[in-house]
Amino acid sequence: MSSAKRFILVHGAMHGAWCWQKVIPFLERLGHSVLAVDLPGRQGKGKPGWGLTLQHYVDDLANTVDHEQGKVVLVGHSLAGMSIAAVAEKMPHKVERLIFLTAWVSMTGSNMVQL
């Protein structure tokens, strides 16, 4: 299928890649390839804790995207909206599209606390 996309699904706060378990088969049936990632501090990926910052998530996700062969579609839920937007800004040549699913989106110059 020439219109097949590579989706990277990014969970929000207090979730893990497991939250996408019902979405993945749906996208795969449509011919897409899908990767649901665990961000740092989740599901054995590093130590959980309050020391993690948005930058940790962005760097980890950017590393994942960088290892992909072509462009990807990033899907972010909740807090992941901030991460996918930052990755797209950091590496626009690797991101075809962003999908925000009930996600945090920051206006320039604001932070999540101000939203």
Q: Is residue 1 part of a domain?
A: no
The residue with tokens 């110059």 is 109
Per residue in 83-99, is it b (16+ CB within 10 Å) or e — as a string? bbbbbbeeeeebbeebe
Q: Is residue 50 part of a domain?
A: yes
Q: What is the pLDDT of residue 21?
A: 97
For the chain, how many structural domains are there in total? 1
What is the spatial distance between Cα 115 and Cα 92, in angstroms, rounded to a whole number? 25
Q: Is residue 111 part of a domain?
A: no
Which CATH number characterizes residue 39's domain? Answer: 3.40.50.1820
Q: Which residues are catalytic?
A: 78
pLDDT digits (tens, 9 = 90+) for 63-106: 999 999 999 999 999 999 999 999 999 999 999 999 999 998 87
Q: Is residue 28 part of a domain?
A: yes
What is the spatial distance between Cα 75 and Cα 87, in angstroms, rounded to a whole number? 12
Q: What is the pLDDT of residue 53?
A: 84
Q: Is residue 115 part of a domain?
A: no
Considering only residues 21 and 51, tell me which one the structure prediction assigns the higher pLDDT.
21
pTM across the whole model: 0.87
Q: Is residue 10 part of a domain?
A: yes
Q: Is residue 114 part of a domain?
A: no
Q: What is the pLDDT of residue 1?
A: 47
pLDDT digits (tens, 9 = 90+) for 29-68: 999 999 999 998 766 555 555 678 889 899 999 999 999 9
User: Do residues 75 and 7 touch, judged by C-beta distance below 8 A?
Assistant: yes
The domain in which residue 95 lies consists of 6-103
Q: Are strands 95-103 and 72-78 parallel, antiparallel or unpaired?
A: parallel
